Structures are given as structure tokens and as C-alpha cells.
Structure 1
Amino acid sequence: MAVSRYDQRKNFEEEEANAIGTQYLRAELLGESRATTIKALLRDYVQLRIEYYKTREPRELEIINAKTAELQSQLWTGVREPAIAQPTPIAALTVSGMNDVINTQSYTQAAWVNRIPVSAWTLMIAIAFFSNLMQGYGARGATGRRVLLFVLPITVSLSLSLIADIDSPRGGLIRVVPQNIISLQQSLPAS
């Protein structure tokens, strides 16, 4: 479960970068003045998304989420107004693209909140406990096998630690690095 969720978080990061990059290009379809505004907002949005992936602080995360919601509102207004004023297929394309940008952010956040359920953790811990108990019971009295008593507990502990680390997107050593969004940021012109 943990590995599939980690992969899912990585895939959503890639989809998010693709959606933002595509919308950045589609912004040019709105005309030069509006495109400049949308592109500047998207550059700020990319920076916020990178901060979202890198932060570990809950308070900082709240601030990033509030800023992200505000930017999304500005971005939506930026494509909605021309679509209402002149409903054309091109305007619909830019609205659809902005919808993809906003949706992929929601999918990413949902994947980061989705964790291994407590009942699954309880089951894994119970299996580990009883496995160790059975090994200890089976090895009693045998002097040479006492060294083996440490193998299962260490193996199970390391396994559970690895699972917990992978399942904690904001903590631990194994984290999703927003490589695609960072690459996108580097490819965007400064202004």
C-alpha cells in the first residue's frame, strides 16, 4: 500500500507539472495583455507548488494552501472573463486547461492525505508481535539458535519503519521531490 501511494504521489506531481506547463502555453491564446498576467500568475503558482512539496511545517502548509487558493481564484478569473465575453472554442480550451491545473492540485493533495489505515497498521503490528513470539517460543533452550532470535525482530522492525517512512510524505527520509515542477520552473522565462 505504501509503495503504491508513493508512486501515486509521484505520478500526480508529474501530471500537475504537465497541466501547468500546458496551460502556460495556452495562455498565449488569450491575447498578449491577458497572457502576460496569466503567465506571471502561473510562475507564482509553480513556486507555491514547489513550496508545498518541500515544507514539513503544518503552519507553513496552511499559509501555502491559502495562497494557492487565492492564486487559483485569480487564475480562474483570468480565463473565465474572456470566455464569458467571447465564448469561442479557444476560450473553452483555456478554461479547460485551467480546470486541469486546479484539478491536478486537488488530486495531489488528496494523494498526500491518503495514508495506510490504522486497522492495517494494527494488523501488521499484531502479525509482527505473534511472529516474534512464535520464534522465541520455538528457540527456547537451544543455545546456538539464540542469535537467530534477533533476526526476525530486526527484520520486522526495519520493514515497518520503511513502510512508515514511505507512507509519511512530509516526514522521514523518503520524500517525493517535485522534479517535474522544478524542471518546469527552470524552463519558464523569468518574465
Structure 2
Amino acid sequence: MSKIAMAALVALGLFVGVLILQEVGRRLGERHLARDPGGARAGTGVVEGAVFALVGLLIAFTFSGAASRFDHRRDLIVQETNAIGTAYLRLDLLPAEERSALQEDFRRYVDARLDAYRLLPDVQAAMAGLAAATALQNGIWTQVVSAGQQPDAAPDAIKLLLPALNDMIDITTTRTLAAQMHPPLGIYMMLIALALASALLAGYSMAGGRSRNWLHIIAFALVLAMTVYIIIDIEFPRLGMIRVDTFDHALVELRATMT
């Protein structure tokens, strides 16, 4: 099951759970009001305020972290595009014969990188594509070292090309690890537990009314469920609704210039 499908199930489960716990809280509140009309709610406002504040704080930090990682992943696409473009331009320092072969390898390399991410959410196929791109990296590095030592290569070819290639290779590792950076599972579990606790307290505070306010009940459950879903969706920006795919256009444009 994909991460986004799991996120949808978690959000649906949270929605149902919040509805149920609001009803449980309401019935508990009505029972306490029947036994002690004057003191059933004494001091409950402080507890409710603390729990709701903690839920809001945790949602804010979790959402902020997810958005920050989303922006970082977009920046890494731009950085990789710049690194590949710089290395490609510096191939002009090599002899013409070696340069042509390397330029073709660069074109294949960019195609492999683009194809790997286009294969998502098929993770296995995407990993195979990344492995193919890594193999091309190794071949390009070996060829550049050999070509830079040719008598007709520019004097500083190696000094200029190897750092550019190193940046191009390093950014792929950075992107791979950045895609795997997520909050610990315990944070999501705590967020869900606090959301359910807040639903119980919200239902308790609704006790005493003649009828249920379905607008508030459903809205409260829907807002919590959608918030958790969006946070998880942002954490996996190539699988859900919120995506970084549009920034791949920078690599596509770079590939178009490699003629």
C-alpha cells in the first residue's frame, strides 16, 4: 500500500474516531450533569484549553516542518540542475573526440534522472532508474579523468571539471536522503492521540444542549482529519496532491539545451 493511500486511511479513521469520541464525550458530560449539575464542569475549561493549545501547537510545528522540507526538496532540484549545467559546460575544456562522447553520456544521465522520478509512485522502478543514473555517473567520472590527462586538453581541465562533477554527484545523494527525511512516527501518533483527546473533551463541553450541533461536530472532525492528511501529503511530494513535479521542468529545459 502506498504512503498516500495509508494517509487517506489514517485521515478517514481519524474522522470517524473524532465523531465517535465527540459522541462519547457528550454522553459522559450528560451523565455527569445529571449527577452534579452545578459542578460537572468545574475546572474543565483549563484542561480543555491546555489540550486544545497543545494540539494546535503540534499541528503548527508539524505542518511548518513539512512545508520547510517541501521547499528544501524544490531547492535541491534547482541545485542539481545548476550543478549538471555547470559540469556540462566545462566539458568544452576537453579534446573534441572525448567531449562528444561525454556530452552524449550527460544527455543519457539527465534522461535517466528524469525517468527515475517520473516512475514514482512505483518505488522499485524508480530505485532501478536511480541505480542506472549512478552507473552513468561513475562512467562519466572515469572518462573525465582520462580525457583531462590528454595532451590536447586545457591545462586546468581536471581542476575545473572534477569539482563540478563532484557537486553533480553529491547533490544526488542529498536529494535521495532529503526524500527520506520525515518526522518520527511517534510524532504522528501523538498528534492523532491528542486530536482524539480533544474530540472527547469537545464532546463533553457540548453536553447539556437539547440537540446536537451537527455543523460543529462534523466540521471539527473534518478539519482535524484534513489537516493530518495534508501534512502527510506534503511529506511525500511525489505521491499525493501537493507535488514538486513542476520543478522538474528545470531539468527538462536543461536537457533541451544539450544538443
TM > 0.5 fold call: yes
Counting aligned pairs with the same residue, the percent is 27
Aligned to 1:175: 243
Q: Which residue number in structure 1 is paired with residue 141 of structure 2?
A: 76
C-alpha distance in structure 1 between counterparts of 2:68 and 2:118, whole Å: 20
Q: Equivalent residue for 2:258?
A: 188
CA distance in 1, matches of 2:195, 2:249: 36
Note the 1:1-191 alignment, pairs <5 A: 1-55=65-119, 56-83=121-148, 88-142=155-209, 143=211, 145-177=213-245, 178-189=248-259
Amino acid at match of 2:107: R
- Is there any run of 5+ residues in structure 2 with no aligned partner, and where? 1-64
User: Residues 91 and 161 of structure 2 are in contact (CA less than 8 Å); yes or no, is this contact kept in structure 1?
Assistant: yes
The question of whether the paired residues in 2 share the 8 Å contact of 1:76 and 1:98 is answered with: yes
TM-score, scaled relative to structure 1: 0.91
Q: Given residue 50 of structure 1, which amino acid in structure 2 is its aligned partner?
A: L
CA contact (8 A) 1:83 1:95 kept: no
**Alignment deviations for residues 78-136 of structure 1 (CA, whole Å, 9 cap, x no partner):** 11223456794331110111111101111111111112221211121122111211111
> Is the contact between residue 233 and residue 240 of structure 2 (CA under 8 Å) also seen in structure 1?
yes
TM-score by length of 2: 0.68
Secondary structure at the counterpart of residue 182 of structure 2: coil
CA-atom RMSD in angstroms: 1.8
Asked whether the 8 Å contact 1:139–1:146 carries over to 2, the reply is no
Which one scores higher on RCO, CA 8 angstroms, separation ≥ 6? 2
Distance 2:173 2:123 in 1: 18
**Unaligned stretches of 5+ residues in structure 1:** none
Instruction: Answer with 1 or 2: which has the greater Rg.
Output: 2
Matched residue type, 1:29:
L
Give 1:58 deviation, angstroms: 2.0
CA–CA distance in structure 1, aligned partners of residues 195 and 176 of structure 2:
32
> What CA distance in whole angstroms lies between the structure 2 residues aligned with 1:39 and 1:188?
8
Number of aligned residue pairs: 189
Q: Kindly indicate whether the alpha-carbon contact (under 8 Å) linking 2:117 and 2:126 is maintained by their aligned counterparts in 1.
A: no
Please tell me the residue identity of whatever aligns with 1:114: M
Shift of 1:186: 2.0
Report the AA paired with residue 166 of structure 1.
Answer: I
Q: What is the letter of the counterpart of residue 128 of structure 2? A: I
Q: Tell me the amino acid that sits aligned with residue 162 of structure 1.
A: I
Is the contact between residue 113 and residue 130 of structure 2 (CA under 8 Å) also seen in structure 1?
A: no
